[in-house]
Structure 1
Amino acid sequence: MELRLIDPNGYTVPDTTQTVTDDTADKVREHLLTEIAPQHAAQWADFGYDPRNYRVA
Structure 2
Amino acid sequence: MDYWAATLKTPAPLIAQVHRSKTGEPAGFRSTTTRDGAAALTKQLSLWLLARHDLIA
Structure 1 or 2, whichever has the larger Rg, is: 2
With a CA cutoff of 8 Å and minimum separation of 6, indicate the structure with the bigger relative contact order.
1
State if a TM-score over 0.5 links the two structures: no
Name the TM-score, length of structure 1 as normaliser: 0.42
Higher helix share: 2
TM-score, normalised relative to structure 2 = 0.42
